[in-house]
Amino acid sequence: MKKLIVMLSLFCACTMQAQEQKHSTFYYQRATLFEALPTSKSDIIFLGNSITNGGEWAELLGNPHAKNRGISGDTTQGVLDRLSTVTKGKPAKIFLLIGTNDFARGKSMDEIVKNVEKIVERVKRESPATKLYVQSVFPVNPKFNKFSGHMNRQKNIPALNAKIKAVAARHGVTYIDVYKSLVTPSTDVMNPEYTNDGLHLLGKGYLKWVKVLKPYLKEYL
For 43, residues 6+ apart whose C-beta sits below 8 A from its C-beta are 65, 67, 89, 91, 92, 93
Q: How far is CA 70 from the centre of its chain?
A: 7
Q: Sorting pLDDT into bands at 50, 70 and 90, what band is 16?
A: very low
> Hey, CA dihedral for 203, 209, 214, 217, is it positive or negative?
negative
Quick one: pLDDT at residue 13?
A: 41
State the CB neighbour count (10 A cutoff) for residue 170. Answer: 10
Confidence of residue 10 (pLDDT cuts 50, 70, 90): very low
Burial of 151 (0-12, 13-18, 19+ CB in 10 A): buried
Strand pairing of 131-135 and 66-70?
A: unpaired
pLDDT digits (tens, 9 = 90+) for 32-66: 999 999 999 999 999 999 999 999 999 999 999 99
| Average of per-residue pLDDT across 154-179 | 98
Enumerate the H helices of 56-202 as residue ranges.
Answer: 57-61, 76-82, 84-87, 100-104, 109-126, 148-151, 157-171, 179-182
Mean model confidence pLDDT for the chain: 92
Nearest to 111 by CA among 142, 80, 141: 80
Share of the chain above pLDDT 90, in %: 88
Provide the 8-state DSSP code for 196: S
Strand 66-70, strand 174-176: pairing: unpaired
| DSSP 8-state secondary structure symbol assigned to residue 183 | B
Ordered by where they begin, the domains of the chain are 40-220 (3.40.50.1110)
Rg (CA), the chain: 19
3-state DSSP assignment of residue 96 = strand
Distance from C-alpha of 33 to C-alpha of 203, rounded to nearest angstrom: 25
Q: Does the pLDDT at position 18 exceed 70? A: no
CA dist 42 and 92 (Å) reads: 5
- Residue 1's pLDDT band (boundaries 50, 70, 90)? low
